[in-house]
Structure 1
């Protein structure tokens, strides 16, 4: 629950920043000065990119959470726990030992979102966020159709 509150707070702060940058862009465009108009036009791009990025990340989180709940209800979540250090970081060797089974399952059933989602969870448990997000994005894509 605290994660949702933090995401909502950060989203509100980003939206506030986007509004303020958008306002500054309009003010600069209204100056009529070539430099001001150029800067205003450049600042128009920032709010557009910011809104797009915010939407994309929130949509990813919502879809990933929905798939996770579905998989949990089916009893399909990975049962293994990755061993961790005292700091909470996963032991790389322990995580690497789990990869082959989940990677092979995803390769054996490339159209099954469940296998991709489980692979993403194993990557995430190992601390490989980039590959975890790629695998979960693939799961979201496959679950849509």
Structure 2
């Protein structure tokens, strides 16, 4: 492989198999909490953040964070808001809002934006729900 050739995940897997058979093992950071695709951090109990209700589309969701922990906030119907940890329960990558669901870019898990339930694995557990309160146009999300 020349210096100009990008190192792909497929190449890493092949190299990892050779390394495991020879002298060591390979760590793929995209498959671990805190890897390149997300912080993997869970919100600290009692910590909170605020989001403008107007910024959350009805029938959609937005990304936010509580400290360094990623969260997603959805508005399934006008005036009803729910929030979840955005840390995928499969491998700790950060999920992203995609219409009425949250999608994990690492392994394809999909979660319902209304309930946090798994729509499509490999994740087996739902996203942890967070407490939300609305005061005028301000949504407060608390871990």
TM band (smaller chain):
under 0.3
Give the structure with higher Rg (CA): 1
Pick the structure with more helix per residue: 1
Pick the structure with more strand per residue: 2
Q: TM-score scaled to structure 1, two decimals?
A: 0.24
Q: TM-score scaled to structure 2, two decimals?
A: 0.24
